[in-house]
Amino acid sequence: MAMSRLVCVGDYEQYAEHNLPNAVRQYFNSGANYEQTYADNVAAFKRYRFRPRYMRDMSERNLTTSLLGHDVTSPIGVSPMSMCRLAHPDGEVALAKACESEGSCFCLSMAATSSVEEVGQAAPGCTRWFQVHVLKDRDMMRRMVQRAQRAGFTALVLTVDCAVHGKRYKDLRNQFSLPPHLKLSNFEEELKRAKSVVATGQSKEEWGRFVNQAFSPAHTWQDIQWLKSVSHLPVVAKGVVTAWDALEAVQHGADAVWVSNHGGRELDCLPATIDALTEVCQAVGDKTEVYLDGGVRSGLDILKALSRGARAVYCGRPALWGLAKDGEAGTSDVLQILKEELSVGMALAGVKDVQHVPTELVVHQSFYSAL
């Protein structure tokens, strides 16, 4: 697709739509079942309206904040995503380097095609978090967590919304699987440990069986304390969309709560994350930090989420579309676009500081239908 200049996230989405191989594009840009949640994540942001305060001095605005005690230059981060080298040969390394250059937080997936060691070496100045699933083999899980800690990762992000994988019709139709030239790098060392598998030359089928059998559906809130027992890193509970799960997470020791529905990829018919955010924030109050991802397509979406109570807002697919276009540079450009849109939105809405975005700045559109 010919474009003179890509100026918004939608432009990058269109580029990826026209340039990624069909199966790869559908793997990243799809949701579970009939994709109701996948679509509503984006649509829901459009149902919120700004109520700005004008005639304020907006000559200076602050976008810096801190996440679990670590300073970042904006509240915009990159969500964990599996198999990013499908989109670009540099994969997660490029994402981390882009976050390093933009001062953003990067969360690496356990199912990444770059290892914690590779990412740590490539982007040592980046605020890096490691997303984990509960594994059947606790020794394997402990080793991965401790590898991340040694590689300089500063938090663990425990996925709580994925006891099993959702059913994605597009992947089933495409018979999607990881190409043989790629590996789930964080599992590679563990695969070599497995006595039943030869250390080199593993087949695609062997990799698939090994990884699929590794994940455990027997996860509980007690796993937060288990993670804290094997590392000194704070734990973020990711995948929370209700007040009761938010309170469970905090009561069991979570240091932060991440409102997410896995991009609509696991359980369909969940609420859009922007709709779930207020309930979660009201439940936890000031007990813990709250983050959000899902459906973010502009800096105005980020401003809306900050107003509804999020401390930071993460994007997955937009960063990946930037990666597909131009690796590290493409992802950096997407992050810069979001940051500029956030800054402009703040100026036009009368907000000087991302750490102090008033709740009353944003209302649901139903506010006006009731007038």
Q: How far apart (Å, rounded) are the C-alpha atoms in residues 259 and 273?
A: 6
Query: Which is more confidently placed, 353 or 175?
Result: 353
Is position 3 within any domain? no
Residue ranges making up the domain that contains 95: 9-369
* Bridge partners, residue 315, by sequence: 78
Are 78 and 107 a contacting pair, CB within 8 Å? Answer: yes
Overall average pLDDT of the 96-121 stretch: 98
| Best CA proximity match to 61, nearest among 256, 259, 353, 365 | 353
- Of 219, 252, 262, 356, which residue is the catalytic one? 262
What are the binding residues?
A: 27, 109, 131, 159, 168, 238, 260, 262, 265, 293-297, 316-317
**Which pLDDT value is given to residue 191?**
76
What are the tens digits of pLDDT across the range 292-329? Answer: 999 999 999 999 999 999 999 999 999 999 999 999 99
Overall average pLDDT of the 261-266 stretch: 95
Q: How many domains does the chain have?
A: 1
| Best CA proximity match to 36, nearest among 337, 275, 221, 215 | 275
Reading the block at residue 297, the tokens are 């397509």
In this structure, the dihedral spanned by the alpha carbons of residues 215, 221, 224 and 225, taken in order and rounded to 10 degrees, is -120
Is position 118 within any domain? yes
Is position 1 within any domain? no
Residue showing tokens 């997407």: 334
What are the tens digits of pLDDT across the range 128-167? Answer: 999 999 999 999 999 999 999 999 999 999 999 988 889 9
Angle, alpha carbons 290-146-264 (nearest 5°): 40
What are the tens digits of pLDDT across the range 5-34? Answer: 899 999 999 999 999 999 999 999 999 999
**Which pLDDT value is given to residue 203?**
57
Reading the block at residue 270, the tokens are 């969940």
CATH of the domain at 100: 3.20.20.70
> pLDDT exceeding 90 applies to what percent of the chain?
86
What are the tens digits of pLDDT across the range 209-245? Answer: 666 678 888 899 999 999 999 999 999 999 999 999 9
pTM here is 0.94
Reading the block at residue 344, the tokens are 């402009």
Is-catalytic flag, 356? no
What are the binding residues for FMN?
A: 109, 131, 159, 238, 293-297, 316-317
Q: Please compute Rg for the chain using Cα positions.
A: 20
Is position 321 within any domain? yes
Is position 4 within any domain? no
What are the binding residues for glyoxylate?
A: 27, 168, 260, 262, 265
